[in-house]
Amino acid sequence: MVKKALNPLKIDYKKCIIEDRLLQIRSKQNLNEPDLARVWTIEIEAKSSKPIIDFIRRRLQPDDPLTFTHIKRIRKKARDSKKLVIIVCSYDLFNSRSSVCSVLAESNVFFENLSDESEIPRQGAPTKELMLEWSRKYWPLTWCGNPNDQILNDYTFDMNHINKMLGSISNLAQLEADKGNKVPVVTAFVNPLEKDKPIYAIDRRMEGKCTPLDHSIMTGIKLIAGKEKKSNRTQAYLCLNYDVYTTHEPCSMCSMALIHSRIKRCIFLQPMQITGCLKSSSGDAYCMHDNRLLNSKYEVFQWLGDEYKIPTVDAKTCC
């Protein structure tokens, strides 16, 4: 974890832009509406707070998939100042009452009213105003600044490599247009273990033996699948931690294919306002890569510079 002041990258934390070129793409819905998680709570006498908190930190916190750095674990019980309500752990850690009771028995602390009815935000609020609102509505929170600032600060980028890849797909897209390809969309897949061996894929939907589903991203995934089959590798996901560079914002089919392939990051040049599926202002604003209903996510950035020219694609074309 690098301190902001020591980060070699230029980051505009307010606009979420890195090096004046990479715009972080996130779901706007996720910013103002908390993603809630159920937690187990107990009631205790105030004098028992220290031993139970020490026990929770030692016995439960290391294994809990939910972090509580933005949460106050203790709050006073309404209408009873002698009692405290304590968050024990998340429902993700234990989903049965018997399991929680069994663990709490090790603490030798008397407690009452074990409950799984409380919900808390999984992440801190992006503004102090929202933090206060969520604290009133759900559970007392702490203000540690916008959590996305740390996310931005933790990103790593090889800007020289990114420029090289975007230049390559831009040139290939122009070549495809010159050859008569009516959908000159090009995508590059980069395995982090073989950065110098990118796999380039073009949109082939207009070719005789292909189908309307043969978008550049789908074609690329097929190429990688063929390569993996020949090498007899048994990796669980085809494109695990790959970086993907594409000329146009992917459609819903391709965006979901990248979810299934478990890529790390996608960088695109041209937003597709009607058919795109990553930006909040595109398509149905689904933001496939950052959707809470899905079990995986990947990073997405739009290139803001005008260095890389690409052929025009009809606005209603799914890429």
Please state the domain count of the chain: 2
> Would you give the DSSP letter of residue 95?
-
Sheet containing strand 299-303, edge to edge, reads: 11-12, 17-18, 22-24, 299-303, 265-270, 243-248, 186-190, 199-202
Mean pLDDT on 278-306: 94
- Do residues 173 and 308 lie in contact, with contact meaning Cβ atoms separated by under 8 Å? no
Q: What is the pLDDT of residue 79?
A: 82
Instruction: Give domain status of residue 234, yes or no.
Output: yes
In a shared domain, residues 162 and 298: yes
In a shared domain, residues 93 and 193: no
For every residue of 267-300, DSSP letters joined together read EEEE--TTT-SSSTTSTTS--GGG-TTSS---EE
pLDDT in tens, 82-133: 899 999 999 999 999 999 999 999 999 999 999 999 999 999 999 999 999 9
- Do residues 259 and 251 lie in contact, with contact meaning Cβ atoms separated by under 8 Å? no
What is the C-alpha to C-alpha distance for residues 149 and 152, in angstroms, rounded to an integer?
5
As separate numbers, helices (DSSP H) first and strands (DSSP E) second, the chain gives 8, 12
In a shared domain, residues 233 and 162: yes
Q: What is the pLDDT of residue 213?
A: 96
Q: What is the pLDDT of residue 230?
A: 78
Q: What is the pLDDT of residue 312?
A: 93
- Indicate the pTM of the whole model: 0.87
In a shared domain, residues 116 and 169: no
In a shared domain, residues 234 and 98: no
Instruction: Give domain status of residue 315, yes or no.
Output: no
Asked if the model's pLDDT at residue 1 lies above 70, the reply is no
Instruction: Give domain status of residue 265, yes or no.
Output: yes
Domain C-terminal end among 75, 96, 122: 122
Mean pLDDT on 252-275: 98
In a shared domain, residues 287 and 176: yes
In a shared domain, residues 193 and 74: no
- Do residues 114 and 42 lie in contact, with contact meaning Cβ atoms separated by under 8 Å? yes
pLDDT in tens, 188-240: 999 999 999 999 999 999 998 899 999 999 999 999 998 887 777 666 788 99
CATH code of residue 107 = 3.30.70
pLDDT in tens, 45-54: 998 899 999 9
In a shared domain, residues 181 and 259: yes
278: containing domain: 158-303
CATH code of residue 197 = 3.40.140.10
Asked if the model's pLDDT at residue 145 lies above 80, the reply is yes
In a shared domain, residues 117 and 171: no
Instruction: Give domain status of residue 312, yes or no.
Output: no
What is the C-alpha to C-alpha distance for residues 271 and 112, in angstroms, rounded to an integer?
55
In a shared domain, residues 292 and 164: yes
In a shared domain, residues 107 and 168: no
Instruction: Give domain status of residue 142, yes or no.
Output: no
Instruction: Give domain status of residue 175, yes or no.
Output: yes
Q: What is the pLDDT of residue 172?
A: 98
Domain C-terminal end among 75, 104, 122: 122
**What percent of the chain stands above pLDDT 90?**
84
Mean pLDDT on 246-266: 98
Mean pLDDT on 174-187: 97
Q: Which residues contact 96 (CB under 8 A, 6 or more apart)?
A: none
Specify the 3-state DSSP secondary structure of 217: helix
Instruction: Give domain status of residue 294, yes or no.
Output: yes
Instruction: Give domain status of residue 86, yes or no.
Output: yes
Q: What is the pLDDT of residue 237?
A: 82
**What percent of the chain stands above pLDDT 70?**
97
In a shared domain, residues 206 and 289: yes
pLDDT in tens, 5-19: 678 899 999 999 999
pLDDT averaged over every residue in the chain: 94
